[in-house]
Amino acid sequence: MTLAMTREDLMAFLKEAFPQVSDDYIVDHVEEKLIRVRLVVDDRHLRPGGTISGPSMFSLADVTVYLGVLSMIGPKALAVTTNCSIDFMRKPAAGQDLVAEARLLKLGRVLAVGDVVMWSDTGPEAARAGRLAPVARATLTYSIPPER
């Protein structure tokens, strides 16, 4: 299976279909059944105590799997979340973007299942040293609209 949408295609789709939130997300990387998306953290994403809110982390997980599915099936705006389970594991680093990487575990005609790991973007040195501790992980199921 090959990609149906590139990084640039996904960013353009997000801008067209969801202009109200498109500036919040950047697709960093996409390949077959794997995608990495960044939440550009702003004050509106924070909760008291200066950490990223749970709803903002859920949104990043949801958008990441959604774009991962679309990268494989094409621009089907009506693909919808049917289930999500999320584990919040530690407090995200203050003042850092949040990065999510999703792997599509199943991509069928009707359902897609993706697993997401999120971490604070604490810089390339931490990534190279393997010090990117996950702040949350989620599993999402998407319903894929039928062909017409």
User: Is residue 114 within 8 Å of 65, Cβ to Cβ?
Assistant: yes
Distance, in Å, from the CA atom of 32 to the CA atom of 3, rounded to the nearest integer, reads 6
Residue 140: is its pLDDT beyond 90?
yes
Query: Counting beta carbons within 10 angstroms of the beta carbon of residue 13, is it exposed (0 to 12), middle (13 to 18) or buried (19 or more)?
Result: buried
- For the stretch 7-34, pLDDT in tens is 999 999 999 999 999 999 999 999 999 9
Q: What is the DSSP letter of 120?
A: E
Contact 91, 120 (CB under 8 A): no
Q: What three-state secondary structure class fits 107?
A: strand
Per-residue pLDDT tens over the stretch 55-114: 999 999 999 999 999 999 999 889 999 999 999 999 888 788 999 999 999 999 999 999
133 pLDDT tier (thresholds 50, 70, 90): confident
pTM higher than 0.85 for the full model? Answer: yes
Q: How confident is the model at residue 41 (pLDDT cuts 50, 70, 90)?
A: very high
Question: Where is mean pLDDT largest: 37-41, 44-48, 95-99, 143-147?
Answer: 37-41
Q: Which two tokens stand for residue 98?
A: 């949040």
Domains present along the chain, CATH in parentheses: 7-143 (3.10.129.10)
- 3-class SS string, 49-73: CCEECHHHHHHHHHHHHHHHHHHHH
Residue 128 has pLDDT above 70, yes or no: no
Contact between residue 18 and residue 41 where contact means Cβ atoms under 8 Å apart: no
User: Which residues, 6 or more positions from 65, have their beta carbon under 8 angstroms from its beta carbon?
Assistant: 81, 102, 104, 112, 114, 116, 140, 142
